[in-house]
Amino acid sequence: DAGITQSPRHKVTETGTPVTLRCHQTENHRYMYWYRQDPGHGLRLIHYSYGVKDTDKGEVSDGYSVSRSKTEDFLLTLESATSSQTSVYFCAISPMTGPNYGYTFGSGTRLTVV
């Protein structure tokens, strides 16, 4: 496997509570990404990181924040979870950006907000 793990794999939380998802990689890749996957929408980029403490927003970043204090860890936080954030969340890594590098994905975190 590519050395990328997500935790937890499953979580149920209540509306209004904060939630943090963790992505851990052992590949020393520079770039890390958080996507959410919903039926009919495919994979949509939430936030990404291009280095320690360097992050930027994706297309669906509202209600989410991220942090990257170490190369190997990229955290996604839902400040106050809402039902619309029920989804499957995938972390991805790549060594570089540019035309010759695709992403390697983790196994996902299924989040249910009740």
Where do contacts with other proteins occur on this chain (CB under 8 A)?
35, 40-45, 58-59, 90, 92, 97-100, 102-108
User: Closer CB to other proteins, residue 78 or residue 93?
Assistant: 93
User: Closer CB to other proteins, residue 20 or residue 105?
Assistant: 105
User: Closer CB to other proteins, residue 38 or residue 79?
Assistant: 38
Strands (E), the chain: 4-7, 10-13, 19-25, 31-38, 42-51, 54-57, 64-70, 73-78, 87-94, 104-105, 109-113
Query: How many degrees, rounded to 5, is the angle at CA 111 between CA 105 and CA 113?
Result: 155
**Distance in Å, CB of 10 to other proteins, minimum:** 10
**Distance in Å, CB of 9 to other proteins, minimum:** 9
